[in-house]
Chain A
Amino acid sequence: MAQLFNLKISDGIDTVDFLNTGEGCRVEDGGFDIGTPNTKRSFGVLRPGIGMQTQVTQSHREATIRFSVYGSTRSDIINSLIKVQQILNSADQRSKTGRGNRVDLQYSWEGAGKISYLEVYAGELITPGNVLSVENIHAQVGSYYVVSGLVLKLWLSTDAYAISVRSTTMTDIPLSGAHGSNVTSGLTVGNTTDNYAQISGAAIDGDTPVFTKIIVEPGGIYSEIYEMYIGLSRAPYATDKIYDSKNLVWNIGGSTVSGGYGGNHIERSWSSTIPYSGFYADWAWEYKNTVGLFYAFMVTTQQITPSDSISLAVGFDDYVTYGIRQVGDYYKPKGSLRGVPLGVIEMPPGPQELANKGTLHEDLWVGIFVAHNGDAGSLNMDYLQFLPINDGVRIWKVRKATLGAGQAVDDGWEGLEYVSGSGKIWTPWYGLLDPIKLIPGADQRLFFKTIGTGSEHTRQIKVKVKYVPTYRTMVE
């Protein structure tokens, strides 16, 4: 819908329109300026002769509105200014305490399709030095008293949104995956190769990563889930993400028994020591389908015992052929959980450009490295899994033993993390890292990895995703 020229600030209680033709505030000709985001950048060296941006922080943008106030009485003028100041007070209160009404600036050009909403973080009303002078108080234009030369300086969000910052009406995104196509009512997502929700780039409006609300329905298994990882990766997608133990060379030894992903898994127990590394897969033949940045997990069919005596790392090794050995950080299993997060790993372990030139590191193996204290123990290895995180990752951690029955909501737009069920809200989990932001115009997938008790490879959840169209420029 074509908009009129629009310039307002509001805290949801009071609204000041700067385009009044009668009483109230009137922006002066050419009196609205809005700047580009305040950006701090650092640069470094990638390789000789080639630089790179190492750090970028965009904190806010600034705007000024130069305006006059018209009133039938002098009291009307003062009340208009009080209203502006009260809205600014709301922004101050929000900044100081994180509570209270959010303030936004609404702006559109005449004929624009939509209004742009920018959050007001702070503002300052600057009055001319002679605002209370006899001359000013007696000035009249037509039938109105007028105070001119006022300046409202605003510190705003870097991005403009297609809805008010106080609105919770977000846009549903159709999701497709192994268990459905274009689903908005809750796509079923598994925990192995079916662990993704695909999003069409055409479904995401905006020109900068958009705030997203992810709603997860764990159904009856809410008590099994202790952690969840959500990865984001745009096309092309890695397709080989599971290394099933039954197909692998298992240097640590052990026997194949039924159960787990693919029907079988490896069981190994020890009384004193086990080899330092094992569970190798010849990785090279799959590399073209497995390129990018991943979060790695080792998955067991049972709790590792004793879980406090062993630590594990993921890595590559080519057995000295070309001198490639890359071992990640070591992590320990957590209590009764069946999945062990092993941190971030790049595949292949080399520049992607090399992988495009031919078979890279044909002798390279991917596997698990082990450190333990020699106590007797057992390990039921099921599979090694890689979660694509090229474009972002979000980690959920459940504080108590259960995620909670209901809908688990990760609302990046409102900055809230909670579970909602039967009209009640509680907060049994917290999020690490920023909430996921989807990428406008890019085909992309959200990948999910839940960790908990019960069967890891059969666990399923239902997922819904909503978003707010977000623009670095203007909403359209």
Chain B
Amino acid sequence: MRFYATMLQGSEEYSRLGSYDVTDKLKFSTQLHGGFGTATFEISVPRLRGSMLVHQFIGAECYVYDEYGRNVYEGRVIDADKSGDVVKLSVSGFYADGKHIKVPTLLWQDVGTTTGDVIRDCIALVPSWTNTNGIYVHYANVVVGPQDTDEEIKVNDMIERMLKLGYRTDNLAPAYFAIYQDKIPRLKIEQYSSYPNFFVYADSPSGNASSGLTMERLYNKVYVLVDDPAEDGVGPTLFPTPAEDAASQQRYGVREGVINAGEYGEDLGLDLRDLALEKYAYPQQSFGLQISGMVRTNGGSYVPNYVIKAGDTLVVSNMDEMAALSFRSGDPTSTLSGFVITTQYDASKGTMKLDLSMGDRKMDYLLSRLGLEGGLS
């Protein structure tokens, strides 16, 4: 497969930066938050056209296509280093444009302001982003009320602050902001449905798949400290009944933890206790794999592996026993499903490295919403 980069400086109609075959040295990534991450490639100086000067690349918009016209990466050139007859270009996805736009003060004063309102307004603040609601943005509805933006907060920080609160009031799934094709913002929701985007085969069941497990934060018997706000002067007390996972205790031994629910009362405190057990009863996991062939879409078509992006869901079909045992997703009914957090593609080898999220982060989001950072101890 060949890859081509075209660079546009300013308006397309006056651009003379041309289109180049960049297959040999092309690498690009996607990530969450962010969408298109970074890309690097090289162009030999004799291929530069007309009066093109190297410095003109800086700031140019860069679009990378495969030989069938798939728009596989886009971003802005941030570094151009000439060495001998070669110019090495580094490109950053358009998400980075939001790092340089400050959020105006007093923008959100309504008590009913939601995360969706804030993100939508943030999108409109960045000139290079496409001002649609993107995909799913308008569904984000966690009420955040008036937002204090006196500080020097930038658009990206504000968006990420909102998404720490999860996706929706009725759906605690983690949500990530991403800018993909045509600079269109979207939210990528970490949840598992009957529509995984891709089915993949790891290069070898164990050779290029890596999984990590740690018991460092494993708690299978969880207590909660609750504090009744109606009773002034009485400190938090330990609720006597813990939440327990017997299977975990049998396998890993009893590991007790305590969570402080602050002044949110007993009912919420018990919810927190149960969520904490769900999250921490088993070893925390990480999973990565490398693929170098085609991948199968939800519909069954074979497509090149570089079309996978951070935010896609996938099913790995040839896990070996060890990898499969350790591969536990948020959805217990699809134990081989994963949510892609980062991708790294190397065009010279045709290999795609994927980092997958296994974690259920409902509790992290609930704690953030309640202002209770820290978790178990």
Contact = CB atoms under 8 A, between A and B. Distances in A.
Interface of A: 42-48, 51-52, 54-55, 57, 95-98, 229, 293, 295, 308-311, 316, 320, 323-326, 329-332, 343-344, 346, 348-351, 354, 361, 371-374, 389, 392-393, 395, 397, 399-401, 430-434
Contacts of A57: 23-24
A44 B299 contact: no
A406 B70 CA distance: 30
Nearest to A47: B201
A96 B47 CA distance: 9
A392 B67 CA distance: 7
Contacts of B15: 399
Contacts of A96: 46, 85
Interface stretch (B169-177, B242-250, B347-355, B364-372): B347-355
Interface in B97-148: 120, 130-135, 138
Interface in B301-340: 301-303, 305, 317-318
Contact of A97 (B6, B46, B301, B303): B46
Contact of A330 (B13, B120, B181, B349): B181
Contacts of A51: 293
Contact of B293 (A46, A98, A323, A351): A46
Interface centre among A42, A309, A401 (most CB of B within 10 A): A42
Contact of B6 (A45, A52, A311, A432): A432
A332 B201 contact: no
B201 A45 contact: yes
B133 A372 contact: yes
A374 B182 CA distance: 19
Given A96-B85, A430-B6, 11 more contacts: A54-B292, A54-B350, A55-B348, A55-B350, A293-B68, A311-B182, A332-B132, A343-B69, A349-B301, A400-B13, A433-B2
A444 B104 CA distance: 58
A234 B24 CA distance: 28
Given A55-B349, A308-B131, A399 B14 contact: yes
Contacts of B201: 45-48
A211 to B, nearest CB: 15
B194 to A, nearest CB: 4
Interface in B195-212: 195, 201-203
Given A44-B350, A54-B1, A399-B12, A350 B299 contact: yes
Contacts of A316: 299
Interface in B1-60: 1-2, 4, 6, 12-16, 18-19, 21, 23-24, 46-47
Contact of B4 (A46, A95, A311, A432): A432
A430 B294 CA distance: 31
11 contacts: A44-B203, A44-B291, A46-B294, A295-B68, A324-B299, A330-B135, A348-B299, A350-B299, A399-B15, A431-B19, A434-B67
Nearest to B197: A326
Contact of B133 (A55, A326, A354, A374): A374
B298 interface: yes
B186 interface: yes
B184 interface: yes
B69 A330 contact: no
Contacts of A431: 19
Given A309-B131, A329-B71, A400-B13, A371 B184 contact: yes
Interface string B52-87: 000000000000010111110000000000000100
A432 B19 contact: yes
Contacts of B2: 433-434
A45 B135 CA distance: 33
B297 interface: yes
Contacts of B301: 326, 346, 348-351
Closest 3 CB pairs of A and B: A349-B299, A350-B300, A44-B292
B195 A325 contact: yes
Contacts of B134: 311, 371
Contacts of B195: 323, 325
Given A323-B298, A325-B298, A329-B181, A433 B130 contact: no
Contacts of B4: 432-434
Given A44-B293, A372-B132, A351 B12 contact: no
A315 B227 CA distance: 52
Interface in B253-302: 291-294, 297-302
A326 B299 contact: yes
Given A45-B292, A311-B130, A399-B12, A330 B299 contact: no
Interface string B153-165: 0000000000000
A434 B19 CA distance: 9
A52 B203 CA distance: 12
Contacts of A332: 130, 132, 182, 184
A373 B122 CA distance: 13
A51 B131 CA distance: 43
B109 to A, nearest CB: 21
B125 to A, nearest CB: 13
Nearest to B138: A374
Interface centre among A97, A325, A329, A361 (most CB of B within 10 A): A329
A252 to B, nearest CB: 15
A238 B278 CA distance: 52
A125 to B, nearest CB: 22
Given A47-B201, A48-B201, A320-B194, A309 B132 contact: yes
B187 to A, nearest CB: 11
A344 B70 contact: yes
Interface centre among A42, A55, A293, A343 (most CB of B within 10 A): A55
A371 B12 contact: no
A442 to B, nearest CB: 18
Interface centre among B13, B291, B301, B305 (most CB of A within 10 A): B301
A324 B298 contact: yes
